[in-house]
Amino acid sequence: MNILEKTNFKNLGELYVGKVRDVYSQKDKVILISTDRYSAFDRNLALIPCKGQVLTQTSRFWFKQTKDIVKNHILDFPDPNVVIGKKCKVIPIEMVVRGYITGITGTSLWTLYQKGQRDFGDFTLPDGMKKNQKLDHPLLTPTTKSNEHDRPLTTADIIKEKIISEELWKKLADAAIKLFKRGQEISLKHGLILVDTKYEFGLDEKGELTLVDEIHTPDSSRYWQAKTYEARIAKGLEPENFDKEFLRLWFKENCDPYKDKVVPEAPKELVEELSRRYIQIYEQITGASFKIESGDIKKRIENNLKKYTI
């Protein structure tokens, strides 16, 4: 199966290499190419066939489903792995929206709640909540957008530090909650619970709020299977989820991914299984059959981007 590890196209603009995407910047537009890189522990660990295509095509589905809520940056999808977006001034806040109290990381709502925190600045949670319980309504837990470590923010922080104006913050918060509710509603029709997600926004050339980057992909969002949720919770089990953690755990068990200069190669069967899961979640989210592209991916992309050379 073909894999896209990286690109280095000439005449497409200045290249910025992110964890998963190669981004070419032009005067009025950006070209986002989703590769098959799998990133964890602040490094690239493996290449997962079809991952980049799944991310692009899932975003394509969701951008279309939500364009009546807020403008998005989409100009064109010239290739299965590529988005052409309007260049926007990115707002330095990551909009994290949560529909359930869950998570295992140090900054997750459930971890903080377990440690006794109830007041989260913009909201207070009651005593007696259980892990993976649905919240009364979606909650915003924004963070700074940084290449280092993201810092949690409250409305008071945003206004006091003058990160953005109060008026823009209200628009941002309103758009994020509306997008999330639409995502939950459509996901449920496809048998999925959209648990939490993150959005990035920018301002276009007219200063209008614009959704950028990606939306509701399996990389930016957590999904659970709806049909088994209640029965599993009743038995004290974890919800049935789209799990890509198993590969991350394999690396943790077989090396020190933070310290080892070279890490072992991911087992072929685990890579194939993760690729299958990405395709499966795409098909369930969109209701469409996934078309695996054949041929030389790089050459195909290069041909499809000819009209965007500068």
Taking the C-alpha atoms of residue 91 and residue 185, their distance in angstroms, rounded to an integer, is 27
What beta strand segments (E) does 80-220 contain?
Answer: 82-86, 89-90, 93-101, 133-140, 143-144, 192-203, 209-212
- Name the residue ranges covered by the structural domains of the chain: 90-234
User: Could you read off the pLDDT tens digit of each residue along the chain, which spans 310 residues?
Assistant: 689 999 999 999 999 999 999 999 999 999 999 999 999 888 999 999 999 999 999 999 999 999 999 999 999 999 999 999 999 999 999 999 999 999 988 889 999 999 999 999 999 999 999 999 999 999 999 999 876 678 999 999 999 999 999 999 999 999 999 999 999 999 999 999 999 999 999 999 999 999 999 999 999 999 999 999 999 999 999 999 998 889 988 999 999 999 999 999 999 999 999 999 999 999 999 999 999 988 899 999 999 999 999 9
Q: Quick count: other Cβ atoms within 10 Å of Cβ 299?
A: 9
Query: Which of the four CATH numbers 3.30.470.20, 3.20.20.70, 3.40.50.11750, 3.40.470.10 does domain 90-234 have?
Result: 3.30.470.20
pLDDT at 204: 97
Residue with tokens 């949690």: 152
Taking the C-alpha atoms of residue 233 and residue 33, their distance in angstroms, rounded to an integer, is 39
The alpha helices in the chain, defined as continuous H runs, are 51-66, 109-114, 155-160, 166-189, 229-234, 245-254, 268-286, 297-304
Cα angle at 140 between 64 and 133, to 5 degrees?
A: 95
pLDDT at 42: 84
Q: Which residues lie below 8 Å from residue 47, measured CB to CB, with a gap of 6+?
A: 3, 5, 35, 36, 37, 38, 271
Integer distance in angstroms from the first to the last C-alpha of the chain? 32
pLDDT at 201: 98
Coil, strand or helix at 277: helix
282 in Cβ contact with 216 (< 8 Å): no
pLDDT at 129: 98
The one-character DSSP state at 266 is P
